[in-house]
Amino acid sequence: MDTLEAPRTILRTSSRICVLTGAGVSAESGIPTFRGPGGLWRNFRPEALATPAAFARDPILVWEWYQWRREIIAAAQPNAGHFALKELEARAAAFTLITQNVDGLHQRAGSRNVLEIHGSIWTVRCTVCGKQQANHDVPLPALPPRCACGGLLRPGVVWFGEGLDTQVWHNAEKAVRAAELLLVAGTSAVVYPAASLVPLAKSSGAQVVEINLDETPISDAVDFSLRGASGQILTELLQ
Ligand code: BJW
Ligand code: ZN
């Protein structure tokens, strides 16, 4: 495990900074992660629910999972890690926050340049007419929710086997290619293409700093791997 000293200097001297966040950053807000302890809902793995096939088979079951998560997220508050990243954006000349999280907590903490590469739990999309709209209902009036056209609504998120929004992904890659520093916080780095941003940053000449409670598949490939809770480490990094 590395110490904070060198990453702190890199943070201070980098003008183009990118951050990739995952569920671990919201864990300290009480939002369950996908994998690991407490990451399961009714014994389902995320791979069994976050797929178009699962939704086609049982839309009510999938919506019950999202409803449960919406309730937790709506009651949660951004934590020290979210606020530290907001502060970092204010200090950096160029800053892009690429998040796999769908909870909207970065924006609620005040972050502005946020790319939600896996979409947002607060949007819904019609499976018939394709209309996408914001929806903050907690609880939803009925499951499964329906569009004005009568079609089934689905969460506005990216499931396994689905492509990411092309423009959002293009912007993420562009920001990473231009970055001097990529901070990777609270992600197991097993889901692609999000995890591919790490080798992209390395091959584009950026320094990569990982923050995680545990070792991950990218820990050996990054320049600095910091072990601990993201709220504490991000706060200390900025001091
Ligand atoms: C803390 C902490 C604290 C805890 N402080 N740390 C290349 C290779 C292999 C497979 C593929 C590949 N390319 C594509 C694939 C297939 C697939 C994939 O990646 N599969 C792998 C799992 C094997 N990818 C896709 O299907 C993607 N689409 C795609 O590639 O499209 C092109 C295509 C189209 C058609 C056919 C083929 C290709 C889409 C992926 C979508 C992922 N969607 C989900 C659900 C989103 C909606 C929702 O939220 O419901 O996204 S799955 C879930 O995993 C969610 C997350 O964003 C994502 C990543 O999870 P994350 O954030 O890393 O969370 P955890 O729980 O895994 O980890 C938490 C971490 O935090 C842990 O490390 C803890 O230690 C740590 N932690 N507390 C610091 N306090
Ligand atoms: Zn519709």
* 74 — pLDDT class (breaks 50, 70, 90): very high
User: In this structure, which ligand is nearest to the CA of 126?
Assistant: 2
pLDDT digits (tens, 9 = 90+) for 2-16: 899 999 999 999 999
Angle CA 66–67–73, to nearest 5: 85
* 148 — pLDDT class (breaks 50, 70, 90): very high
pLDDT digits (tens, 9 = 90+) for 83-115: 999 999 999 999 999 999 999 999 999 999 999
Q: Is 136 considered catalytic here? A: no
Which residues contact residue 81 at a Cβ distance below 8 angstroms, ignoring those fewer than 6 apart?
Answer: 25, 28, 185, 186, 229, 230, 231, 234, 235
Q: Are strands 224-227 and 207-212 parallel, antiparallel or unpaired?
A: parallel
- Residues 89 and 96: their CA atoms lie apart, in Å, by 8
Q: In this structure, which residue's CA is closest to atom 8 in ligand 1?
A: 192
CA 198 to ligand 2 centroid distance, Å: 38
pLDDT digits (tens, 9 = 90+) for 15-73: 999 999 999 999 999 999 999 877 878 888 888 999 999 999 999 999 999 999 999 99
Ligand 1 — pocket residues by CB below 6 A? 22-24, 27-28, 33-36, 39, 46, 50, 100, 102, 118, 157-163, 186-188, 190-193, 211-214, 216, 229-230
- Residues 235 and 88: their CA atoms lie apart, in Å, by 10
pLDDT value at position 105?
98
Kindly tell me if the per-residue pLDDT of 204 is higher than 90: yes
Q: DSSP assignment of 143-195, as one string?
A: SS-B-TTSPBEEEEEPPTTPPPPHHHHHHHHHHHHH-SEEEEES----STTGG
pTM for the full predicted model: 0.97
